[in-house]
Amino acid sequence: MIIGVPKEIKTDEFRVGMTPSGVMELIKAGHSVLIEQGAGLGSGFEDSLYVNAGGVMLESAEDVYAGADMILKVKEPIEVEYARLREGQILFTYLHLAADKRLTEVLCAKKITAFAYETLRVGRRLPLLEPMSEIAGRMATLFGAVHLGRYFGGSGRLLGGAVGVERNRVLVLGAGVAGKSAADAAAGLGAEVVMMDINTERLTYLRDVMAPNVTMLYSTHDSILECIKTADLIIGTVLLPGAKAPKLITHDMLSLMKKGSVLVDVSIDQGGCFETSHTTTHSHPTYEVDGIVHYCVANMPGMYPRTSTVALTNATLPYAIKIASTPLPALLKDELYVCALNTYDGDVTNEAVADAHAMPYKGIML
């Protein structure tokens, strides 16, 4: 199969869909790889490294899309890329279609076989989401702490406090990979941390492995209402695979919070878990609503593209090889890849995405 790796062009995105070593592995598996010139530069990979690995360097994204049977990316295609998609192509990337009806319609119209990193399941795990969730969780605490600074519009509280000064409070909504990483980082900085989730089994496990300054609470509307009153930093990491994130903090609830506190919405790719969230960029990461600082960058790991690219492609490479090496009818008899499939032959094949946009859903028969 001919695999294409175009340059990411979403604002402030410097990751790349495959490393030179990954290209070498794809070629060893019998495939050809087309690379857009400069695709890896943001992650520190020179064009020559791809050529030395056996990739074919092309000058334009149009050439990559035109020549490839399968496109490997990091982020979902943006509007300028829609016309480049070729009917019947395979697309393997983060899609987050529940937050993007227009892209969903385009993928259906072009009969794209679209596999989403974020819905590929192995048991209860989402292995292609986990590496970026870990990075985004750590970043949520670090950048939340920075934006508590008065210079950035925050309350002027140092997250871990100081000798003779009370420790500040962090509320983490969601106890998955991102939530645990955020809580670990906050606890390490000396904050008082509360983690909330509705999975009591997960909360029990985390109670036994987390630092003593992390408290586990079952998530209800009332418990969230109480905790936001004293929180200095609130990090939202809730995830319903493929679906829009639930709105756990409404606009009205902001009035209960301390002025200058910070909301970090890690769930913004899936529409955000705060009612007042809207997508921001690394260049302009925050805005204020009713005295509350909002940080809602949709591609947080893109801030650290070298680490993020290597971590992501280490996870995606085996699945990319499998998709490229297996006839599609056989691949769609494997439940793992059916879970990852979001659109196929003009239909939405992920029920959560279909529900989000009130579009018809067509399941794949195994």
Q: Give the residue numbers annotated as catalytic, written as ranges.
A: 96, 269
Instruction: For residues 29 and 106, give the distance between their C-alpha atoms in angstroms, rounded to a whole number.
Output: 31
Residues in the chain: 366
The residue type of 206 is L
